[in-house]
A and B are shown apart, each in its own frame.
Chain A
């Protein structure tokens, strides 16, 4: 929601419906300007916000809930709680006069409350434990219901819940792995923990159950086939958007979690049926789309299917550039999104050196801007750059088990070091290929003996090298459908290498489209100017 005016109107409309018109304007003014009188500890606008929020959630008015969540919550957070937590849950319980502290409103409020602490402050161990307990309560509210729950929540919020759940788990594992920084009291708390708070299997279990509750994979398969979603496929729960969407988002959550654990096989099998185009469920929440593309692309990079990585990243980076304006209005997301953008550019730089595909002009420019010097260094054979690029692009890997004992199974380098080793093995295997490629580029046919002289290698070594080139090229292609490779192709006939001669016509399409859009824009302006007086005379 961009303008507060529209939001105001919504609230006004809702209040009018409530028969509250008289009370409205002053309240709304205070809500936005923040010149409120203090009522107890909580500022009145906040009290009003909470009351309305409570009201709309209780009445299940998703439209207003969505507005208040996507707009009001962040505005108030920015204004009143920039560096302090929202009012404690029991205070809020008093404000909205809710009797049951286990009601869904209270669970959801606590979700926001802890999330705010994680985002703006430093969570204590107690916060971590309580937040976990609250998530368990929230998910069991959904999962152990005998029949589908009545409440609906905005998609954005559902995504944020899953995302935050995985994030807090990740954060907890990192916290535990820094054994030096944990004080004695916290250590004993961790030892006494019998509920296995933030245990990796528990987290996986919850996400898996959420995907199974709504048969999300069956639903996705049916969608792929273009069949309607019936109760036979989705089940009673799967017919409700709240279950379907949490299920779908959980798939993305699992994708992320498996990637962090280095299990690329499970990561990719999670998204076996997920469509990455701009339609369908993926496009409902942009943040989800970006996360899904980032992790899927990373998994493909690790298993050396660079073609797939490039296709995914190229697409999503283009999308992010087009929608930049939209995200920049939301400072809290912009940082995260910019970071993902840079990570993907770094990974894309890696992928495109291993598998030179033709990139979109706009994406190409971005790579040159951000990683240009590194790409140049790679071309000069500087292998250390791969480490740099990998570290700036990779996610924060986790180990499934964190022990207090310093001799962890991951050695000194940690899970990140282990994944780097896997990646470096590939870099090492690809070492000779760029040189070979640059020689082949110069010829349409060349005898192996001549090539061996250039490369200062034995002839049979060159033969092996040529085969390795072909093998790597074939793997890198992956399952991507993109065919416009810029790479050379060749075959060997006894002791002669024949190389393709590929010419690439200039890309006019992008330029053309831009010009069309410009023309449209100016056309609109001119038309607008031309029409204005006509309207004016008509009214006179």
Chain B
């Protein structure tokens, strides 16, 4: 995110000057927007201003889709014709479009032949716009967020902010909750769990209602969360066999990522056998060796070298430091 990086740098500079300065920025994965999309937004903003001046009657979403189509090589004039056609069609239907969906959605469906990456970017953009300000709580967008969530589940993407918003909509408008809502809750929770060691799971957990918590599968997910948080990995691999939801795309990889993170924190050398136990069932040894290589660890006989840790436990003395800036105002000297 462009803003946080600059803040981060500034932060380092000023650290020397200010002893105490809590950092309020939340740098969790849930907040991430890329520099690229920031730029895109700026461009889109400009285009939308022009569009408003010309009175084209296109909203931001439609504009965004048009831009993407043109970037993908669609001829602009053809596109303009299509939009006109779509408009004529909808006006001949007495103001209502055939499917009852706005222009932008219909345009989108005509552009569906996109790779998942691009499609994710696009949905992310849409989610971003619809969550600005109070739009966040617009119940009409719930279906979109749910579609978006299912897309993420299927293709292994993640947008925590939008997923959390599903829970929020359930919280604010309980009449939106249907029989299938609980399934969405499970998906949101499992997705958030895959973000450990980030706090996404806690954010989501704090938004659930009592009914949702009492649900059996929710309890199961909560148990799995506890096993991960308390690092009982051997047990974790057993438990996740029991439920289908943990077969989700990328779940095993995410769990291994977290496990490697914890091992990196804790170990200098770790026994090979124990590490294999932690990383869960694997097809063959080469999968294990891949993980070791991915983390830049060294395989030595029956153990794996993770990293030097000696300085962590060096004998240290904490001496109080009092920078001169703190003392000068007290002593009233310059």
Contact = CB atoms under 8 A, between A and B. Distances in A.
Contacts of A400: 171-172
B173 interface: yes
Contact of B208 (A204, A303, A418, A467): A418
Given A479-B23, A500-B314, A263 B168 contact: yes
Contacts of A520: 332
Contact of A277 (B10, B20, B211): B20
A204 B137 contact: yes
B134 A422 contact: no
Best-buried of B161, B205, B222 by chain A (most CB within 10 Å): B205
A271 B229 CA distance: 27
A517 B6 contact: no
Contact of A481 (B22, B206, B266): B22
A274 B230 contact: no
Interface stretch (B24-32, B42-50, B100-108, B241-249): B24-32
A98 B23 CA distance: 49
Interface string B2-33: 01001100100001001011111111001100
Nearest to B31: A269
B39 interface: no
Interface stretch (A103-111, A115-123, A378-386, A504-512): A504-512
Interface in B243-275: 262-263, 265-271, 274
A471 B206 contact: no
Contacts of A444: 313
Contacts of B21: 275-277, 481
Contact of A272 (B24, B206, B232): B24
B314 A262 contact: no
A201 B206 contact: no
Contacts of B210: 409-411, 413, 418
Contacts of A413: 210
Contact of A312 (B22, B173, B230, B265): B22
Nearest to B319: A505
A176 interface: no
Contacts of B6: 225
Interface in A259-279: 261-265, 268-269, 271-277
Contact of A493 (B211, B234, B269): B269
A521 interface: no
Nearest to A504: B318
B174 interface: yes
B281 to A, nearest CB: 17
A272 B210 CA distance: 30
Interface of A: 200-201, 204-205, 208-209, 212, 221, 224-225, 261-265, 268-269, 271-277, 296, 302-305, 308, 311-312, 315, 358, 399-401, 403, 409-411, 413, 418-419, 421-422, 425, 428-429, 432, 444, 460-461, 463-468, 470-472, 474-475, 479-482, 484, 489-495, 498-509, 513, 516-517, 520
Interface of B: 3, 6-7, 10, 15, 18, 20-27, 30-31, 133-134, 137, 161, 164, 168, 171-174, 197, 199, 202-203, 205-211, 213, 222, 225-226, 229-234, 262-263, 265-271, 274, 277, 303, 309, 312-320, 322, 327, 330-332
In the complex, the 6 A-B pairs of residues with the closest C-beta atoms, listed nearest first = A411-B210, A491-B309, A409-B209, A500-B313, A467-B231, A468-B231
